[in-house]
Amino acid sequence: MRATTETRSQLLTFEVTILNLDDYLRPLWTICFFWELKYAVIVTTPRILGGFEDGSYAGSARHLFGENRSHLRVDVAQGYMTNADLEKAIKAFGQRCSNISRIYSARCSNVADLLSVSLFEGFLEWVISIGKSVTGFPLWVIEISDKPGKEEAEPAFKPEKLGPVSLMLQYIGNVHGDEPVGREILLFLANWICDNHLKDPLATSIVENVHLHLLPSMNPDGFSLRRRGNANNVDLNRDFPDQFFPINDDVNERQPETRAIMNWLRQMHFTASASLHGGALVANYPWDGTQDKRTTYFGCPDDETFRFMASVYSRSHYNMSLSTEFQGGITNGASWYPVYGGMQDWNYIHGGCFELTLEISNNKWPSANELPTLWEYNKISMLNLVASLVKTGVHGRIFSSDGGRPLPGSITVRGINQTVKAGRTFADYHRLLAPAGKLEVVASMPGYKSKSTSIWLGEAGTTLDFVLDPEVTLKGNLLRSGCECDCGYMSGLGHLEVSLFLFVIVGFLCFLFRGRIKNNLSKQKQLVGPKRPVVV
């Protein structure tokens, strides 16, 4: 949920809340008494309620809707999954739907942990680890795909088979601890896809064409504490580096949940993302802030594409597009009110990931018996958003004319100041674009001559492969390949650890990637279908 800068009158109050002890309690309150060892009455010490709730980021934390705190109330989370319940539900899903999914979270955090488990299993888990919350709760992720856990260049369009790309999307829930609808809705989504992927064309398309990653709870500690911020009382959606102001630039000051998301985006090469919030009903898109902090429309380079994405969600929703506050049920973030340090803008700038912020319920914490209805209201929107990204834009791969090796180059579109990077292993790219008529697409790679071509982009997407010529002879010139890995994160390790790590891991990586590249090139040569991709 987003917030306003309006100043409230200061109130001195005591708060009494009944909490379920299935979730751990942080030592922020005085425990008065227990019964049946499961429930406790928690009495907060007196505090001033004014300015900004929870004291988090007073310069940018704002509340559009008051929380209507009563002096005595039953736990608002009654009927919701506790963190322990959520973990059990995720693992149960992984067992029930193991043919189209995998479950992952944090496993190894350093070289010593890595080498203490089996090399193959430990390395893969370490590479994809998401992380843990402040209190150590794992940030569990569900991946749904017909080939979960495998990097692949699969057809993005069926049955036409326009060409091979790898499309990776994510949904993130419970960014704010007191907005838990998303964590429940994402379990509904996962189970619906599992139950229907063999009989519903939409579910089938998602499973076959997408690697869909679901993070039900980014802020499990905040959920347990029934508050917006995490265990350190920090608003995670104000904790990312900002493009306009020098905030959150010290990596050591960032929250572990924030660092986990940033590392995840760097590792997984997501094409698009959406975070689920509560407290309003609207699809929000970048930019979230402005250079002068004014509340005014400030579009990003891909404004047209983001408006298209937001409209797909809003128009598919039960009543979002009927909003009287937001035309068409969508809004530019800065036009609504500026946010600084948000996840949405950071993902787009630094991860090349097109992210929406989806406010999916007017009530931040509705009664649990409303969750099935909220799922029905959002189901088609969530599915259509994923499906629309599979069918739109420009997709393809970049190759070298010398030997046909995949080149992890970059894709740009004339007139749009945003670069999309191709994948390292298969050099596949997915450039999201709204239907726009004639466009000029440019592929580039250091050491190679750039190449451009014009296309006509309508409602359906198109596949465009590039073959680039070297600028100079390759004799004696070592070019980067899929075997190269970024080991900058190891700068703080000792020389012995680094040497051991590189000896074992890099050798294994190169062997693995080399086999995959050969196999992939072989498959590429054999690929046939009713429509062939354009190659330039």
Taking the C-alpha atoms of residue 506 and residue 35, their distance in angstroms, rounded to an integer, is 56
User: How many CA atoms are closer than 13 Å to the CA of 17, on its beta-carbon side?
Assistant: 20
Q: Give the residue numbers annotated as catalytic, written as ranges.
A: 359
User: What are the tokens at 243?
Assistant: 């493009």
Q: Where are the alpha helices (DSSP H) in 240-359?
A: 256-268, 303-316, 333-336, 343-351
| Contact yes or no for 516/405 (Cβ under 8 A) | no
* 261 closest CA partner among 311, 301, 217, 304: 217
Are the CB atoms for 182 and 366 separated by under 8 Å? no
Instruction: Say which residues have a Cβ less than 8 Å from residue 35's Cβ, sequence separation at least 6.
Output: none
Structure tokens at 283: 């699809």
The b-or-e profile of 352-373 (16+ CB within 10 A means b, else e) is: bbbbbbbbbbebbbbebeebee
3-class secondary structure, 530: coil
The amino acid at 332: N
Report CA dihedral (55, 61, 66, 72) to the nearest 10 degrees.
-20
Of the candidates 428, 432, 512, 419, the residue with the CA atom closest to the CA atom of residue 166: 428
Q: How far apart are CA 32 and CA 45, in angstroms?
A: 12
DSSP helix/strand/coil, 133 = coil
Distance (Å) of CA 281 to CA 63, 194, 228: 15, 27, 18
- CA distances from residue 169 to 13, 172, 336, 368, 475 in whole angstroms, order as listed: 44, 10, 26, 28, 39
State the DSSP string of 252-276: GGS-HHHHHHHHHHHHH--SEEEEE
Cβ(381)–Cβ(276) below 8 Å? no
Q: How far apart are CA 285 and CA 330, in angstroms?
A: 8
Q: Indicate the SS3 state at residue 92.
A: helix
Distance, in Å, from the CA atom of 465 to the CA atom of 170, rounded to the nearest integer, reads 25
